Amino acid sequence: MAQYSRVAGSVALITLQNPPVNALSAAVRQGIVDTVERALRDPEVNSVVICGQNGKFCGGADIKEFGRQMSGPPLVPMIHAIEAGHKPMVAAIEGVALGGGLELALGCHYRIAHSKARLGLPEVSLGLLPAAGGSQRLPRLIGVPAALDLITTGRHVTAAEALKLGIVDQVTDHNTVDVAVKFVQSVAGQSMDSRRLSTRPCPSLPNLDAVFEGVMQRVRQSARGAIAPVACVQAVRAAATLPYPQGMEREKELMGTLFTSGQARALQYCFFAQRAVGKWSLPSGARWDTSKAMPISKAAVIGLGTMGRGITVALAQTGVSVVAVDTQERQLAEAKQAVSGMLERMAQKRGSAPPLGLVHYSNNLQAAADADLVIEAVFEDMALKESVFQQLSAICKPGTFLCTNTSGLDVDRLASHTRRPELVVGMHFFAPAHVMKLLEVVCGPRSSPEAVATAMQLGKKMGKVSVAVGNCPGFVGNRMLKPYVEQANFLLEEGATPELVDQVLEDFGFAMGVFRMSDLSGLDVGWRIRKADKLTDPSVPAGQPVRVRQGRRYSPLADLICEQGRFGQKTGQGWYHYDKPGGRVARSDPWLHSFLEEYRARHGLVARHIDHQEVLERCLYVLINEGFRILDDGIAAGPEDIDAIYVFGYGWPRHRGGPMFYASMVGLARVLERLEHYHQAHPDVPHLQPCRLLRRLVASGSPPVQRWREVIKRLHSQL
């Protein structure tokens, strides 16, 4: 809806009203069309200001309307009518002007922004392009290179940067609408001919072809198969090389292709999934909207290895005072230097002062006594963590939340070592903790709703996508990763190479295949866990076939590699060869290939040709199958939680929507059929056996991913 009022005698004020972000729904578009017509008709009105209700100009097209039957007036002619208007139109931008919101503002003759406003054309992150004239008007206003940057990255700019780029004409600290009303009166009666962006030529560039080629190359490299960034470049090229009407035709044609693509659906699903995970609920009935988060002004981080340092930085960045504790003096000194360095570099980038004063260091656990919340980040060893929790329970003030940054250990067992198990939750960060967006908040059976709400809220404050998950080995992310890595190793035994497997996964869109990723993370980490699980050590009974453990197929390949001292990038050798320890460029390693051949010969395995489809299906479907088990077990509340975890923490390509969304796109019946096929071929791999929930979903007609929760509820209610 759009409200019409008259201010200062002769100015029409049009206010967009569609909380929370004044998205351009059919009703809002109709409202704008009607009120603009009224303002242009009204003889007592000589100028117009367009603004948004509640301090937000406009968050763009209504994403909820995408995929539904289009109704109401379309955006393009609506914006043309504004631009063509004979009375000056000014956009008064507060809060946000994003996507269609900025395109609406670009149709106005002037733009005035509040200093705290953010502007951008983020359509690319929804698998689209700015198709209400944005791809044609913005390059005409700010030039091709700057427009390409904004449109292909979708990044938001501050009002100050928008002014510098020439997107807005004025920035104010005062009431933006008042400033806009005053300004528009000063230009009332003047010709607006020179202010209509569609009539301007695109600023010329001497090396146009080279600029576009360079950007296209960069975009194709970083897009990893995403089609929207490529279409964005093509649309801007149309702006630079074609007259405006033909450019608009091209914009429409490209948008048509994107709009109906599975990628746009996947990316829009991700947008809503990211928001849905904030609305968490627990099997106990506790929910996000009925559980109170406690304010955290002082936190303590225990253990200052890589994770502890990153967590300290992330907390300080949020404005939380932190006491960083490590009992080893040397580690403490190194951490102090590393944390200060990180904070300084980040502040330099932002152009602000580093929050060094917020971090205090101590070698004594006692320093955590008055913290509101403690995050334990010591070495991943149960006995050590138990001892830390026991001590913290005795030291900390009553009410201190005790959190563990474990990547898979039993949170409830740790809770049982404290006096107040209800205050214990897991906070599983991902390395580097001050950069990675994902936080798994692990709820034990005894974690209180307040403890979960507090950890979720703190994660949000830290800029993380926080997902509440249940307590089981590996939680969600790492539990699903295990069968995925296992399949990759089995494929090597059967005849594949690390290069083949990685190539297939990278072609799918992962930034790194499983072997390159393992080399980066360090192969010794998994080795230590397998030893702790008694999968690989001298205690394995003599005579037990080496490729069977605990009654199921087991590949000792990774263990054998580790026994050679090959831990990945850190040692310069792993599944690949690196030019030096710490080297980053993975090269094929002839040693590894002969090692695989010898291994196969020793075990009587005959290498066979494995095609790309088998690699992809076995690696991905086994991971998806575990996702269904997790849903069935109630460890994740819905498919959106799993998908958010994989997109934000495990490099799953966002334009594929996450593993569960991908399964629904492939077709659940197909996933089931392929799993059955592979399980038949490998009956000693239980992970390949299709799980009950997948079968139930297929039996109920493979509903879309948005309706799985209903099936899960029904399934559980019958237990």
CB-nearer residue toward ligand 3H9: 100 or 513 = 100
Which of 63, 205, 338, 715 binds ligand 3H9 (CB under 6 A)? It is 63
Which of 31, 85, 100, 449 binds ligand 3H9 (CB under 6 A)? It is 100
Report the alpha-carbon distance of residue 719 to residue 701 in Å, rounded. 21
CB-nearer residue toward ligand 3H9: 123 or 326 = 123
CB-nearer residue toward ligand 3H9: 251 or 494 = 251
CB-nearer residue toward ligand 3H9: 130 or 477 = 130
Distances in Å between the Cα of 560 and the Cα atoms of 267, 388, 522 are 40, 33, 14
CB-nearer residue toward ligand 3H9: 460 or 531 = 460
Which of 61, 197, 322, 359 binds ligand 3H9 (CB under 6 A)? It is 61
Q: Could you tell me the smallest distance in angstroms from the CB atom of residue 477 to ligand 3H9?
A: 23
User: Which residues inside 171-190 make contact with ligand 3H9, applying CB under 6 A?
Assistant: none
Which of 85, 99, 139, 477 binds ligand 3H9 (CB under 6 A)? It is 99
Written as six digits, the tokens of 503 are: 């190539």
Q: Could you tell me the smallest distance in angstroms from the CB atom of residue 56 to ligand 3H9?
A: 7
**What are phi and psi for residue 432, nearest 5 degrees?**
-75, 135
Report the alpha-carbon distance of residue 170 to residue 186 in Å, rounded. 14
Q: Write down the H helix ranges in 466-583.
A: 477-494, 498-508, 514-521, 523-532, 557-563
Q: Could you tell me the smallest distance in angstroms from the CB atom of residue 39 to ligand 3H9?
A: 23
Point out which span in 56-64, 441-449, 496-504, 521-529 binds ligand 3H9 (CB under 6 A). Answer: 56-64
User: Which residues inside 394-423 make contact with ligand 3H9, applying CB under 6 A?
Assistant: none
Report the alpha-carbon distance of residue 573 to residue 524 in Å, rounded. 12
Letters for 115-154 (x = contact with ligand 3H9 by CB under 6 A, - = none) are -------xx--x-x-xxx-x--------------------
Task: Please give the residue whose beta carbon sits closest to ligand 3H9 in the complex.
Answer: 99
Residues in contact with ligand 3H9, total (CB under 6 A)?
24
Q: Could you tell me the smallest distance in angstroms from the CB atom of residue 24 to ligand 3H9?
A: 7
CB-nearer residue toward ligand 3H9: 21 or 635 = 21
Nearest to 501 by CA among 519, 520, 482, 516: 516
644 binds ligand 3H9 (CB under 6 A): no
Q: 553, 682 in Cβ contact below 8 A?
A: yes
277 binds ligand 3H9 (CB under 6 A): no
Nearest to 510 by CA among 715, 320, 656: 656
Positive or negative CA dihedral for 256, 260, 261, 265? positive
Which of 45, 75, 266, 492 binds ligand 3H9 (CB under 6 A)? It is 75
441 binds ligand 3H9 (CB under 6 A): no
Q: Could you tell me the smallest distance in angstroms from the CB atom of residue 137 to ligand 3H9?
A: 11
Q: Could you tell me the smallest distance in angstroms from the CB atom of residue 343 to ligand 3H9?
A: 25
Written as six digits, the tokens of 582 are: 């710490």
- Identify the three-state secondary structure at position 24: strand
Q: Give the contacts of 138 (CB within 8 A, at least 6 positions apart).
A: 106, 121, 130, 147, 150, 151, 167
Q: 289, 332 in Cβ contact below 8 A?
A: no
Q: 374, 400 in Cβ contact below 8 A?
A: yes
Q: 600, 607 in Cβ contact below 8 A?
A: yes
558 binds ligand 3H9 (CB under 6 A): no
59 binds ligand 3H9 (CB under 6 A): yes
Report the alpha-carbon distance of residue 226 to residue 220 in Å, rounded. 8
Q: Could you tell me the smallest distance in angstroms from the CB atom of residue 74 to ligand 3H9?
A: 7
The H-or-E segment that residue 695 falls in is: helix 692-699
Which of 6, 174, 275, 612 binds ligand 3H9 (CB under 6 A)? It is 275
Report the alpha-carbon distance of residue 424 to residue 376 in Å, rounded. 11
Written as six digits, the tokens of 135 are: 């791809």
The H-or-E segment that residue 161 falls in is: helix 159-165
103 binds ligand 3H9 (CB under 6 A): yes
Point out which span in 99-107, 237-245, 362-370, 581-589 binds ligand 3H9 (CB under 6 A). Answer: 99-107
Letters for 226-265 (x = contact with ligand 3H9 by CB under 6 A, - = none) are ----------------------------------------
Nearest to 660 by CA among 334, 87, 652: 652
CB-nearer residue toward ligand 3H9: 122 or 556 = 122
Report the alpha-carbon distance of residue 382 to residue 380 in Å, rounded. 7
Letters for 1-40 (x = contact with ligand 3H9 by CB under 6 A, - = none) are -------------------xx-x-----------------
64 binds ligand 3H9 (CB under 6 A): yes
CB-nearer residue toward ligand 3H9: 26 or 715 = 26
Nearest to 649 by CA among 395, 447, 322, 407: 407
Point out which span in 54-62, 157-165, 215-223, 641-649 binds ligand 3H9 (CB under 6 A). Answer: 54-62
- Identify the three-state secondary structure at position 534: coil
Q: Would you name the residues annotated as active-site residues?
A: 103, 123
Positive or negative CA dihedral for 220, 640, 480, 620? negative
560 binds ligand 3H9 (CB under 6 A): no
98 binds ligand 3H9 (CB under 6 A): yes
638 binds ligand 3H9 (CB under 6 A): no
CB-nearer residue toward ligand 3H9: 30 or 327 = 30
CB-nearer residue toward ligand 3H9: 21 or 433 = 21
Q: Could you tell me the smallest distance in angstroms from the CB atom of residue 417 to ligand 3H9?
A: 37
Pairing of strands 11-16, 2-7: antiparallel
Give the DSSP per-residue string, 43-71. Answer: TT--EEEEEEGGG--B--B-GGGTTSPP-
Distances in Å between the Cα of 288 and the Cα atoms of 298, 357, 402, 546, 634 are 23, 33, 20, 48, 17
Which of 60, 303, 408, 690 binds ligand 3H9 (CB under 6 A)? It is 60
Q: Could you tell me the smallest distance in angstroms from the CB atom of residue 237 to ligand 3H9?
A: 18
637 binds ligand 3H9 (CB under 6 A): no
Nearest to 484 by CA among 522, 431, 526: 526
Distances in Å between the Cα of 523 and the Cα atoms of 504, 571, 716 are 21, 10, 39
CB-nearer residue toward ligand 3H9: 375 or 465 = 465
Instruction: Find how far residue 525's CA is from the centre of its chain.
Output: 25
Interface ranges with ligand 3H9 (CB under 6 A): 20-21, 23, 59-64, 75, 96, 98-100, 103, 122-123, 126, 128, 130-132, 134, 275
